[in-house]
Structure 1
Amino acid sequence: MPDKSLAAEYSEPVKHDEKENRTVQVFGVELKDLDGGGTLKKQYAGQVLQVGTKVEELRNGLEAAIPYFEEFSGAKVVLTALPDETFIDEMEKDLSQQHRFDVVLVPGAFAHSYAQSGYLKELSPFIQDKSVVSPNLDLDDFIPSLLDHYGYYKGKLYALPFKPDAQILFYRKDLFEDIRNRELFQNQTGKPLKVPDTIDELYETARFFTLAYNPQSPVLYGFNMMGKADWSRWTFTNRLGAYGGKDVDKDFKPGFHNDAGVQAMKTYVELEKYVPPDYTDYGWIEANRRFIEGDVAMMEQWPGLSKAAEAAGSRVQGKIGYAVVPGAGGVKSPTMGAWTMAVANNPLRQESSELAYKFAEYVTGKDVELLKISSGNDPTRSSNYRRPQVTSANPIYPVLAESLSRVKVSADPDVPFVISKLNTMQEAAVQSVIRHKVSPEQAVEQMAEQFEQVVREAGLYE
């Protein structure tokens, strides 16, 4: 998911001293664990570590930590950042054929495909080796949903979470706090105006803030969403878990071929009444631009929208609130994504495996991960969401932490080998509904048949 954190506006490491005993601070937090819990003593001097990831914020996040890792480990780190457009294809080609990389930063669901293919090393042997593992590793400190869903595969640990994502409800807090809007909503509905908790409340509130339905609305549209192909499926997945469905079950059978899937798909039919008429042309950039122009009351989006919304020149700067996406039946289930660090099972560079593990452990550490926030990579450690210096500088963080604790559905169907195909099928189903080609019921039926066919052809059904 494209994502840059609001913390980028606040976080810059501060070096008080360039000597060995210097102090490094982020958010006013002194980073005391730059030597891997005392396990990095320049013992890897002379070794070269090859790291692979994607361009922009992921590359920048690693670059923030690399100088410290090189200093304390003695190793030289070579970072290769693959372009966004070809990242998945190039990464898989490298892991399977070229074997350049020792350690990789990849999407969590794709790490499972790589583990299934034998491209990654299990991390437990390194963790169980007391001469290797940092005493400060503390696996229990990772946000449980991230580690459980993306770190483990078939009961074995293959990856450590580096960057979390969860869909968030962005709303115009100035509109919700305005006394005139509150009185008008009360008069029209008999209810107090509040940030919606349920999908029905979302419909009602979106209608109130849509000028076509309420001539006294201060904005044109009550809601906005991405409707462009490749970007449109997350409104569906934001509802699917709340209604009791899943993308796939433990046997890779469709978990949406039921009433939950139909109800989640019907969300588009109602919400499109309250969005800009050209929303089907909106991807990440277009939808965010429309929101920060100030004529939309609410939008579900990845956390990166916060940086654009709070930037200088934004018409909604200082006017945004954050909430967990609305649910149903007392259940909220925002869509989750993550990027994870994994050690490549590189047949040409087996001697670098221990160093590769140490790098993955290092950049996901409690202290060190604060270095990455300025480049748009939010924390994956529960303890960092409890640090007042971090949360006070970043109003989205309490909501992001709560959202990650509620997730039930992944941004990418977690099925080895065929994730990209299933994503395409989800998008096609959504597009067929929002472009009024088929009913939600027909779209779910067709998508379920396609899912089963692709998974069967991949040989994943026993």
Structure 2
Amino acid sequence: MAGTTVLKVLGRKFDGFERAFTAQLGAIAEPAAFELAEIGDLQRIVLDEDGATSGDYDVLLLITDWLPSLIESGKLVPLDFGDTPPEGWPSAWVPSLRALQTGPDGRNYGVAYHDGPMLLIYRKDLYESEAEQAGFRERFGYPLAPATTWAEFRDQALWFDRPAEGLRGTVQAGFPDEHNNVYDFLTHLWSRGGELIVGGKSGLDSPAAREAIAFLHDLWHVSKVVDPAAARWDSVESGVRFAAGEAAMMVNWCGFAALSAEKYSPTHGLVGCAPTPSGLAGAVTINAYWVLAVPAGAEDPRRSADLIRRLTTHEMDVRTALAGGSATRRDSWAAPEVQAVAPYYAVLEAAHGSARSLPADPRWPRIGAILNEMMRAVVVDAAGEQALGRAHEELTALLG
């Protein structure tokens, strides 16, 4: 391969990705290197600057939220695998892990590399403790079990919240990065029967939206079951804190349950997973995932596509899981070595059945910015319904 240009992969900074890419790129013949950036920097480089068109990168690891805008603006090229598509394509991936990278032209712009969805992740040792069960029943009048409703979630967060003992009722990712803070709001909105956009207009002026904001405001500022420091934590940090034993439960990306798989983890063997709690409209989980895509500036799109094909085989997907990422293939979910890593793989396919995704709207970066500021105000300023009202006005103006 002397003289062959080294392909460069750009993605999000996350220990699981770093370990996975190190193992994967070291195991293939194609010369390739990777660079990882914080999610805000990655968004700026790819969406706001010329990272997708400059020729500096050959493969991008992207959250599906950004794809409609990137596809519409011509910053990604459709994948062309020729006669050698990824191993098992397309049936090795569930439909909900193929849909979001399909463009309006019906062409495919990426292959899933790291999976959500969001689940309820909880401490089995706490929930199975006879003393905890007895005390909870005495106080709340019903058995202690992983929450199936948001009312139960709040009760349990109140019960387990013991800051003097280093244990909080739950953990949130409050950092305003248009990621978990926005997803938390949408999870509550949708499970309560609300919609972000109704008939082309803002759906934020609704009882469901007000209930969603009131619930989140309560967790942070009334019941105070969240560490105030979590206002500065992103999804990764919140997952790390849970794995360190600092909270009884959380709704977060299923992959963070794998952080407890390490034998040195304080929560090793103590973590369980369940569907997200339900509102009046039932249980809803956010479906967002990371895909490998070819930027428009790639020097040789065919080489880029071939690298993606090599990185998404069953063998490489298992490596992703063992490195601390989340496998995306059905055959990987069923592999014993993968199921041994984390408790969520057995429920992933079922969880995708109740998954919803962000609107496939090229305006999403601007919509997300509105919701991001709304949630910043809820978390930091305790603005609650006032923040919701401002967001409704701004979304109304944007949608026209």
In structure 1, C-alpha distance between the alignment counterparts of 2:218 and 2:197, rounded to whole Å: 25
Distance 1:453 1:60, change over 3 A: farther
Matched, 1:61 2:20: yes
Whichever residue aligns with residue 64 of structure 1, its letter is: A
Q: Name stretches of at least 5 consecutive residues in structure 1 with no aligned partner.
A: 1-43, 71-75, 457-462
Superposed counterparts of 1:2-13, under 5 Å: none
Whichever residue aligns with residue 51 of structure 1, its letter is: K
In structure 1, C-alpha distance between the alignment counterparts of 2:350 and 2:308, rounded to whole Å: 25
Please report how far the alpha carbon of residue 159 of structure 1 lies from its aligned counterpart in structure 2 after TM superposition.
Answer: 1.3
Superposed counterparts of 1:199-348, under 5 Å: 199-210=150-161, 221-230=168-177, 232-248=181-197, 253-272=201-220, 273-276=223-226, 278-279=228-229, 281-284=231-234, 287-288=238-239, 290-292=241-243, 294=245, 296-311=247-262, 314-329=265-280, 331-346=282-297
Please report how far the alpha carbon of residue 196 of structure 1 lies from its aligned counterpart in structure 2 after TM superposition.
Answer: 0.6
Whichever residue aligns with residue 209 of structure 1, its letter is: F
1:89 corresponds to: 44
Please report how far the alpha carbon of residue 110 of structure 1 lies from its aligned counterpart in structure 2 after TM superposition.
Answer: 1.8
Q: Deviations over 1:87-131 (max 9, x none)?
A: 2333344455422333322222223222111122223xx35x4xx
Distance 1:94 1:432, change over 3 A: closer
1:3 corresponds to: none
Distance 1:237 1:81, change over 3 A: same
**Aligned counterpart for 2:58 among listed residues 102, 126, 135:** 102
Q: Deviations over 1:156-205 (max 9, x none)?
A: 32111111122232222112111122223333333222111111111222
Distance 1:248 1:357, change over 3 A: farther
In structure 2, C-alpha distance between the alignment counterparts of 1:96 and 1:137, rounded to whole Å: 28
1:447 corresponds to: 391
TM-score of the superposed pair, with normalisation by structure 1: 0.73
TM-score of the superposed pair, with normalisation by structure 2: 0.83
Residue pair 1:137, 1:361 contacting (<8 A) in 2 also:
no
Distance 1:220 1:354, change over 3 A: closer
SS at match of 2:280: coil
In structure 2, C-alpha distance between the alignment counterparts of 1:435 and 1:135, rounded to whole Å: 45
Residue pair 1:209, 1:219 contacting (<8 A) in 2 also:
no
Whichever residue aligns with residue 235 of structure 1, its letter is: D
Whichever residue aligns with residue 234 of structure 1, its letter is: Y
Whichever residue aligns with residue 243 of structure 1, its letter is: R
In structure 2, C-alpha distance between the alignment counterparts of 1:180 and 1:281, rounded to whole Å: 32
Distance 1:269 1:332, change over 3 A: same
Identity rate, percent: 21
Q: Deviations over 1:205-246 (max 9, x none)?
A: 22333459xxxx988543232334335333312222212334
Residue pair 1:227, 1:282 contacting (<8 A) in 2 also:
yes
2:76 corresponds to: 120
2:7 corresponds to: 50
Q: Deviations over 1:380-439 (max 9, x none)?
A: 1122212333213322322444433322144xx6432651x4333212212333456544
In structure 1, C-alpha distance between the alignment counterparts of 2:277 and 2:149, rounded to whole Å: 5
Distance 1:190 1:90, change over 3 A: closer
Q: Deviations over 1:4-45 (max 9, x none)?
A: xxxxxxxxxxxxxxxxxxxxxxxxxxxxxxxxxxxxxxxx99
Please report how far the alpha carbon of residue 53 of structure 1 lies from its aligned counterpart in structure 2 after TM superposition.
Answer: 1.2
In structure 2, C-alpha distance between the alignment counterparts of 1:318 and 1:398, rounded to whole Å: 16
1:415 corresponds to: 361
Residue pair 1:151, 1:340 contacting (<8 A) in 2 also:
no
Whichever residue aligns with residue 144 of structure 2, its letter is: L
Please report how far the alpha carbon of residue 298 of structure 1 lies from its aligned counterpart in structure 2 after TM superposition.
Answer: 1.8
SS at match of 1:361: helix
Q: Name stretches of at least 5 consecutive residues in structure 2 with no aligned partner.
A: none
SS at match of 2:176: coil
2:351 corresponds to: 403
Please report how far the alpha carbon of residue 275 of structure 1 lies from its aligned counterpart in structure 2 after TM superposition.
Answer: 1.0
Residue pair 1:221, 1:274 contacting (<8 A) in 2 also:
no
In structure 1, C-alpha distance between the alignment counterparts of 2:195 and 2:208, rounded to whole Å: 9
Whichever residue aligns with residue 275 of structure 1, its letter is: V
In structure 2, C-alpha distance between the alignment counterparts of 1:90 and 1:279, rounded to whole Å: 28
Whichever residue aligns with residue 177 of structure 1, its letter is: E
**Aligned counterpart for 1:379 among listed residues 323, 327, 342:** 327
Distance 1:221 1:59, change over 3 A: closer
In structure 1, C-alpha distance between the alignment counterparts of 2:167 and 2:86, rounded to whole Å: 55
2:369 corresponds to: 424
Distance 1:246 1:381, change over 3 A: farther
In structure 2, C-alpha distance between the alignment counterparts of 1:372 and 1:184, rounded to whole Å: 41
